[in-house]
Structure formats: structure tokens, C-alpha cells
Amino acid sequence: MSVRVRLAPSPTGNLHIGTARTGVFNWLFARHHGGQFILRIEDTDLERSRPEFTQNILDGLTWLGLTWDEGPFFQSKRMDLYKAAIQTLLDQGLAYRAYDTPEELEALRASQTARKQAPRYDNRHRHLSPEQEAAYVAEGRQPVIRFKIDDDREITWTDLVRGPVTWKGSDLGGDMVIARAAMAPELGQPLYNFVVVVDDIDMQITHVIRGEDHIANTAKQILLYEAMGAAVPRFAHTPLILDQGGRKLSKRNGVTSIDDFRKMGYTSEGLVNYMTLLGWSPPDSTQELFRLQEAAQQFDFERVNPAGAKFDWAKLDWINSQYLHRLSVPEMTDLLIPFWQAAGYLFDPLADRPWLEQLGALVGPSLVRLPVSDPTWMAQVREIIGPALPAVADGVEMVRFLFADPFEFMPEAAKQLEQVGSATALQAIVTLLEQETEALTEARAKAILDQVVQAQNLKRGLVMKSLRATLTGQLQGPDLMQSWLLLHQRGQDRPRLQQALTIAK
């Protein structure tokens, strides 16, 4: 039978990194076996499900390249199927109506707690007589539907990640509710553990690959497969993603949704590559860079570590930088132009294209992430994540000096200009620049500096530092010669030299 897997996100929030990573493993497994990857939106929780979250999930999966073959299917549109399956279980005597009121259930829980017992339903309505049922109905009680769970049962499966797992029927909390309360003979809203099984049977899912937080559900679900006379699929429970402190990655960690990672400047290729390594390691464990297709060729669950996978920002950064550095200069420039425009930098994307590509070439090699478009949000994120998130060069800030108008010297740059010899150096550069008959090249710019150092008998370091202070207004920044050429091409180097000479000593 060909492999059929599914991702079944609930649209109660944006696409979470944990769900997306489960999506990655599903996708890799399906592609490895030439199978089908199905997308199912589990929107039975009508109060918490929202269309914008569904859209966010679809967009996020698409952005990551996790293409699906069937769906999206929506559980909210499949209620008839679930209700029919519940009716069948009722007819077969495998499920029943339980009329307990919330107060009665609360009293049961309280007495169990008082006796230091784990709370569970004591199956008290399993064998109601028709008269008792009629009496409850007459009282106006609305029953839930409970599925019978045999306490003596032992449920065992061989998890593809964890090996053999065994649960006792008596640890499952008693007969489980599979549909909410409704006035009999109506059926109330079917619940999660039940609809998942109905869908997985209906969609002929062969492998259920999902987060380990579902392990406790699996035992219950296996009993439902048996009750419905269906083959039980294989299960793979993928490890949780943990933060630096070893706790499950959550809202507390600042960023958890795929959208957030995109806003932080991660590329889809870099992020999805990193996610494949969150819990899985390739046969050649030194290999870290994978396109999805390539990882799919090698993927299997033998190499998924059941222990939680620690989230490592530095590693994600490194992988992301590798994808950025592989881009061609035109590609890099295309990516950066919208950020430069958003920052208010003035240029003409068409007429200035050659100049912009030089800028892309200057900035690209130092980029680890793309620039952020919302610096205020990013500052908050940095605050929450703390030192675990490395500081990186920003592709907008790095080139701000090129567009600064009016232009100002930062205090440390002004101080540099006051160093003895600065004025002499800058004056000599101006004089030599005046004698240039053609547009400045890197070779000519270097020759000018050499000449200044020799003729004025100045230290090279002083000349370079003063020129950097003059042209960029700072003491740190991208390659000085390239920066000079870029400013020169925009006619900005001479005015800045003149401006510097008014304060240089």
C-alpha cells in the first residue's frame, strides 16, 4: 500500500514552528516513499478556530515549500460523516449516552481527589436501564456520548520514533467522551480524538506522524480504530522542540510562528533546512545543508532522536547565512531593494540598478539574516530571546551612510578627524582626487591613498581611519574602498571631504 500521511493543524493560532516541523517530517516521509501528503484543517473548535489562522497556516506551509497533494480538507464540513460513525458505535453498543450533569462530575472528581486517586469517569452510566434514561431525558438532561474503554485492556504499538509503547486501559480516564452534550436523540459536536480517527480511516492514512504531545491520545485512538473495524496505522511521535532552558518552546520564547521567523529575516530555505535537523540527523552527520528534496532522499525515522530537540539560534543563523551567501548579486539586490525603499532611501530602482547591484555585492557577504521591516517588534524579540540570539549585521543599517542627507559625523568619527594629521591627509586626498580625469576605480582609489601615505609621511592606519570617518561618519562599516567608490558614483565623496575639512585638524 502506498504511503499516505497527513498534517492536521488546528487553526486556533498562526502556523507554529512545532506544527511546521511535524509538517516537514510528514513531507519528507511522503516524498521519500513516493506517497501522498494530505492537509487537513482541524477546525471543530468553532470558538477558537479562525479563517485568518487557516490562511496563515496555508501561506506558511506554501512559503516553506511543504506542498501538499490533497486538501485542505476542513473537519467543520465533514460533520455528517462523524455523526454517522457515532451512530454506528451507539447501534453496536460500543458507545452510550451518559447523562451526568457537570455538578455530578465535579463531585465525582472531588471525591477522587480527596481519596488521592487520579480523576477518572467511573462509567456509572454505562448500563442505564431504558427507564433511567427516560427519566433523565424527562428531567431535560442533555447527554454526551461516551465510548467504552475496557480497563483490562493493554494497548501496545511500535512507535517509529520511540519503539514499543504500552498503555493500560485503566490509565485512560474511563469511558471517553466522543461527542458533546445535546438533547437526545440529537448528537452533539463530535470531539477531537474521535474525528481524527474517522478522518484518518476515511483518508486511508497509513502513517500518523505528529508531535509527542499526542502520545496519550494514541492509545484511545487505537481502541477507536478497533471499534470501527479499521486497520491501525503506524505512529511516529516526533520530539518536542525545546528552548535553551530545556522547556517546550512556547509563547514565552517570543517567537514561535513561522511568520515571526520570516519577519526576523530568515529565508524559507534556511528555516526549513534547520527544521529538518531539529530531531533528525542525516546518515552523514556532518552534512548540515539540505534542500527539502535532498533530505527526502535520505529521511527515515530510525534517525529521529526521541529526545527533545533544543532550539539553537546560532545554528539557524549559520544555515540561513549559507543560503543568503549562495544568492547571486542580482538575486541579493532584488531581495534588499524593498527594504531599502521601506527605509526611505532615495534611489531609482531601474536607472540606479548597476549602482544598487554594487551595493548588494557589498552588503551580501556579511548578511546572516535579511533586514527586518519592523525594528520596534524586532527590538522586543531581541529583548525576550536575550543573548541566545546573536547580533548580526543589518542590510539596511549597514548602508544608511550612503543615503544620509544631511550627513553627520558620529562623535567617534568627529574625534578621529581631530587627530593630528587628519586634515593633511584629507586635503591631500582632495587634491589628488581633483586631478583624476576619469571615474574613480578601486585601483586608482588605492593609488591615491598610497600616494598620500608616502608623500605626506603619514601612517596608513590614520589615513584610512580618517577617510572612513569622513565618508561614512563612523569608524566601522563595510569595505572602505567599495564604500568610497559607491559614494563617488553618486557625487557624494567630495562634499563629505569638504565637510570633514571644516572640523579636521
Tell me which residues touch ligand GLU (CB under 6 A): 8-10, 42, 196, 210, 214
Q: Compare residues 50 and 400 and give the one whose CB is closer to ligand GLU.
A: 50
Smallest gap, in angstroms, from Cβ of residue 297 to ligand GLU? 25
Smallest gap, in angstroms, from Cβ of residue 6 to ligand GLU? 7
Rounded to the nearest 10 degrees, how much is the dihedral formed by the CA atoms of 160, 164, 170, 172? -10
Going by DSSP bridges, is the β-strand pair 176-179/144-147 parallel, antiparallel, or unpaired? antiparallel
**Residue pair 40/69 in contact by the 8 Å Cβ criterion:** no
**Residue pair 160/301 in contact by the 8 Å Cβ criterion:** yes
Separation of alpha carbons 312 and 315, rounded Å: 5
Q: Compare residues 16 and 488 and give the one whose CB is closer to ligand GLU.
A: 16
Separation of alpha carbons 58 and 52, rounded Å: 10
What are the CA-CA distances from residue 360 to residues 332, 334, 345 (Å)?
Answer: 6, 9, 14
Give me the catalytic one of 251, 415, 459, 505. Answer: 251
Instruction: Output the residue with the shortest Cβ distance to ligand GLU.
Output: 210
Q: Compare residues 41 and 425 and give the one whose CB is closer to ligand GLU.
A: 41
Separation of alpha carbons 346 and 213, rounded Å: 51
Smallest gap, in angstroms, from Cβ of residue 211 to ligand GLU? 6
Q: Compare residues 146 and 210 and give the one whose CB is closer to ligand GLU.
A: 210
Between helix 51-64 and helix 17-32 the angle, nearest 10°, is 50
Q: Compare residues 97 and 214 and give the one whose CB is closer to ligand GLU.
A: 214
Smallest gap, in angstroms, from Cβ of residue 214 to ligand GLU? 6
Separation of alpha carbons 280 and 277, rounded Å: 5
Q: Compare residues 30 and 396 and give the one whose CB is closer to ligand GLU.
A: 30
**Residue pair 12/52 in contact by the 8 Å Cβ criterion:** no
Separation of alpha carbons 35 and 205, rounded Å: 11
Q: Compare residues 72 and 375 and give the one whose CB is closer to ligand GLU.
A: 72
Active site residue 251: yes
**Among all chains, which residue has been given the C-alpha cell 474517522?**
198
Report, in this order, helix, strand and coil percent for the chain, each rounded to 5. Answer: 50, 10, 35
Beta carbons within 8 Å of 116's beta carbon, 6+ residues apart: none
Could you say which DSSP state residue 15 is in? -
Smallest gap, in angstroms, from Cβ of residue 19 to ligand GLU? 6
Q: Compare residues 167 and 407 and give the one whose CB is closer to ligand GLU.
A: 167
Q: Compare residues 196 and 452 and give the one whose CB is closer to ligand GLU.
A: 196
Nearest partner of 20 among 36, 29, 6, 9, judged by Cα: 9
Going by DSSP bridges, is the β-strand pair 144-147/95-98 parallel, antiparallel, or unpaired? antiparallel
Rounded to the nearest 10 degrees, how much is the dihedral formed by the CA atoms of 124, 130, 132, 133? 80
Smallest gap, in angstroms, from Cβ of residue 291 to ligand GLU? 26
Separation of alpha carbons 465 and 460, rounded Å: 8
Separation of alpha carbons 340 and 348, rounded Å: 11
Residues in the chain: 505
The H-assigned helical ranges of 327-399 are 329-342, 353-363, 375-385
Rounded to the nearest 10 degrees, how much is the dihedral formed by the CA atoms of 161, 166, 172, 176? 70
Smallest gap, in angstroms, from Cβ of residue 14 to ligand GLU? 12
Rounded to the nearest 10 degrees, how much is the dihedral formed by the CA atoms of 91, 95, 98, 104? 170
Q: Compare residues 21 and 210 and give the one whose CB is closer to ligand GLU.
A: 210
Separation of alpha carbons 221 and 147, rounded Å: 11
Smallest gap, in angstroms, from Cβ of residue 69 to ligand GLU? 17
Smallest gap, in angstroms, from Cβ of residue 9 to ligand GLU? 5
Classify residue 84 as exposed, middle or buried by CB count within 10 Å of its CB (0-12, 13-18, 19+).
exposed
Smallest gap, in angstroms, from Cβ of residue 192 to ligand GLU? 7
Could you say which DSSP state residue 118 is in? P
Active site residues: 251
